[in-house]
Structure 1
Amino acid sequence: MRDAAAAAQRGAESTAQLLARRGRASYVGEHARGVIDPGAVTVAVFFEAGSVA
């Protein structure tokens, strides 16, 4: 579970370099670069919580 939590964290961090094509972030275009996807952060927190228990 700790490995999954670490992978989820890395994945969430990697979303900052993406340019959104759908959803609310797509409306702001380049201004969204550098912002980590909140859904990806939620998944990372979920796995982190599971690895502690």
Structure 2
Amino acid sequence: MVDAASAAGISKRTAFKWLARFRAGGEAALDDRSNAPHRIRHKLPDQTIEEIK
């Protein structure tokens, strides 16, 4: 695994993380995904945003 990580130019930790994702969900789990949070706890209501505009 260390040789594969080095060949790909990634850390051993990242390689193991990707391996775990692949094992859990197959190739689809390796697709790019957003780093943005799934929800924003303190988001302003849409009406307030429209009033500000």
What is the TM-score normalised by the length of structure 1?
A: 0.31
What is the TM-score normalised by the length of structure 2?
A: 0.31
Q: Which has the higher contact order (CA 8 A, sep 6+)?
A: 1
